[in-house]
Structure 1
Amino acid sequence: MDDNTAISSPSPVYQLSPEQVAGPYFRNPKLIRRNISEGMDGIPLVLRLTIVDAMTGQPVTGAVVDIWHCNARGAYSGWSKVNPDKEVDVGDIGSIPRTDDDTYLRGGQFSDKKGIVRFITIYPGFYASRALHIHVAVRITAGNNYLEERHVAWVGQLYFPEVVSRSVLNAREYSGRVVSPLSNDEDFHYRHHGGEASTLNIHTIGRDSKEDGFFGHITIGVDTFALSSQIKPEDFDKYTV
């Protein structure tokens, strides 16, 4: 090859992010919104997720990215009357009857031209037998149309650095529980399916205090042609408000 021949740099290729179970508290409230907090008590969390095609490294645009997680006390909307201090022995979608129609800490966003979605929420608490985590689903759509030609490409869970979580759990809104969270390494799903690849990068927003909240971000690599083994399109239609 001629030394003067220009060589174009290929796009970076990202590791395919590991899929994880959707869990029993999945539902589809059909809420496209950035702020999902609904006034819940807790330390603020600004979340930025970047969705990329793991095969090409290019941003995935126009995908619906849904997230859901528990509140500071460990409860999920739709299951607010389920005691988060008692371990449940089932984990499949629809395995636990809903107790209410609340929608806090749930919502979706369309990824922008850089593959980015942003959410305003709170730092999650925990429930018995789990580490702190956030659920995520990525749906491929026809442009920015919520209803057309969608399929679920990826379902996962995101975790938090334990040093940050320990400081959060000492805050008034999170403390006083009768059970303790599992560490990441003690959590079956983190240990076998998530690991460091599913751990958010977390930074404080304020210079002097965690009370101002945190900024969390991660890049998620998906196969846009894949069909998730965890959630099917009909599950979104079935488990609606």
Structure 2
Amino acid sequence: MRGETAGAAQRPIRLVLADDEVMLRRGLRVLLEQGGRIRVVAEAGNGEELLAAVRGHRPDVVLVDVQMPSKDGLSALRDLRAMAAPPIAAVLTTFDLDDYVAEALRLGANGFLLKDADPAVLVRAVIDLAAGGAVLDPRITARLLPRFRNLGDSADEVRLVRTLSARERQVLFLLADGRSNADIGDRLGLTEATVKSYVSTVLGKLGAENRVQAALIAQRVSGCGDGESW
């Protein structure tokens, strides 16, 4: 049993890359597959190809550009969201596409990565996404937070966070740091399954659709400055 578990844990993460720039896709594929942790099972040049690849290959994670011909990344995210068992989706973006990133967040994207990120950062991001983490490039977070600070009622969000138990708040703020379920479990001495249950409860109590939305709520609340230690 131990050997079977270890073997399952070592199964490569199945990834689909969607970007209309062929050379970028090929370069990313080479970088991501180094080390054997990730296997790119398909590439897509537009949203239609992405959806077909997901149906045909059932990947764990999808990296999708927002600007693609025929069917763009946002339209593809809407369709992915409607699937019975959608893969984890992260957006590949550039600094000048903040509006697209904001919409992708509303559509439930679990990660936001910049195309010029260090290769090691991209590899780590895919691994964390597959393990149940939320991935926010710090440069994107810095640009997004000002525009999202006024989304919703901060006083209401503070009230919601205060409804969380002490352990649930710990999970929330570790989640907001971009930690995966496994990392949170190691930090708090919990099993990964227990962390997953806590995360589900936290999302429900906060009314957040995914980890990224919960992370932004946590970051807004931590900046409220009411003097209370969370």
Which band: TM-score by shorter chain?
under 0.3
Q: TM-score scaled to structure 1, two decimals?
A: 0.24
**Greater fraction of residues in helix:** 2
